[in-house]
Chain A
Amino acid sequence: QVQLVESGGGVVQPGRSLKLSCAASGFTFSSYGMHWVRQAPGKGLEWVAVIWYDGSNKYYADSVKGRFTISRDNSKNTLYLQMNSLRAEDTAVYYCAREFTGTYYYDSSGYRKSGAFDYWGQGTLVTVSS
């Protein structure tokens, strides 16, 4: 069965770095786009970043652009999120999520848009606090 297991969360001081991992199993990891989505305590979902199945394209939310880096190692079936210059507002549960095959699309203007997220990990909590 499909499993996504995040790790690497914890308490970190503002301005410091942290690297999250997401170990995938039960499917051909190298065939799927992967995302990070976060949820601040008591708040809604916020998309963070995406990486194409082969790592060829990466996109970020404006709130993390220039500070966070998404990457993957298909030989290890693992997704990563390197988070630098952390801020208090980055405090959240971070989920990795798989993009549902066949649900991404190109809109009428020819721009590629995200598909749905069909599997999610259980999340890892990142707390940024001094």
Chain B
Amino acid sequence: SYELTQPPSVSVSPGQTARITCSGDALPKQYAYWYQQKPGQAPVLVIYKDSERPSGIPERFSGSSSGTTVTLTISGVQAEDEADYYCQSADNSGTYTVIFGGGTKLTVL
């Protein structure tokens, strides 16, 4: 079955740039979405359609796509950005399905 692969963890110091990747063979043809989830809370959408930012999401969050990898970039990381981040996308089959990556724990040192 189709999988989206994320690194289990990423660590950065405050003010630096964090990049979280999500890899999958279908990503050149499918959009990706990104969610932030803090402990005990529901996920929050931070990027949709690879690079669009919902209203209310800080400009330091951005998304990009290149081939089979999409990347969530957080510029000027703040302590409050420490959370789990999940990518979401779809495969290239005709079956309707929703796939999440395994998640990446962002630690702000």
- Interface residues, chain A, CB within 8 Å of chain B? 35, 37, 44-47, 50, 59, 61-62, 95, 100, 103, 105, 107-109, 111-118, 120-123
Contact = CB atoms under 8 A, between A and B. Distances in A.
Interface of B: 1, 29-31, 33, 35, 37, 42-45, 48-49, 54, 84, 86, 88, 90, 92-103
Given A61-B98, A111-B93, A115-B33, 7 more contacts: A44-B84, A44-B103, A100-B48, A107-B90, A116-B45, A118-B54, A120-B43
A115 to B, nearest CB: 7
Contacts of B31: 103, 105, 113
A42 to B, nearest CB: 11
Nearest to A117: B45
Contacts of B44: 120
Contact of A50 (B43, B88, B93, B98): B98
B42 A95 contact: yes
B99 A47 contact: yes
A103 B49 contact: yes
27 contacts: A44-B100, A45-B86, A45-B103, A47-B88, A59-B95, A59-B96, A59-B97, A61-B97, A61-B98, A95-B42, A100-B45, A100-B48, A105-B31, A107-B30, A109-B92, A111-B93, A111-B96, A112-B96, A113-B30, A114-B88, A115-B33, A116-B45, A116-B48, A117-B33, A117-B43, A118-B54, A122-B42
Contacts of B97: 47, 59, 61
A35 B94 contact: no
The 8 closest A-B pairs by CB, nearest first: A47-B98, A120-B42, A116-B48, A59-B96, A116-B33, A45-B100, A44-B103, A113-B90
Contacts of B92: 107, 109
B7 to A, nearest CB: 13
Contacts of A111: 93-94, 96
Contacts of A107: 29-30, 90, 92
Nearest to A59: B96
B42 A114 contact: no
A115 B48 contact: yes
Contact of A44 (B48, B54, B94, B102): B102
Contacts of B94: 109, 111
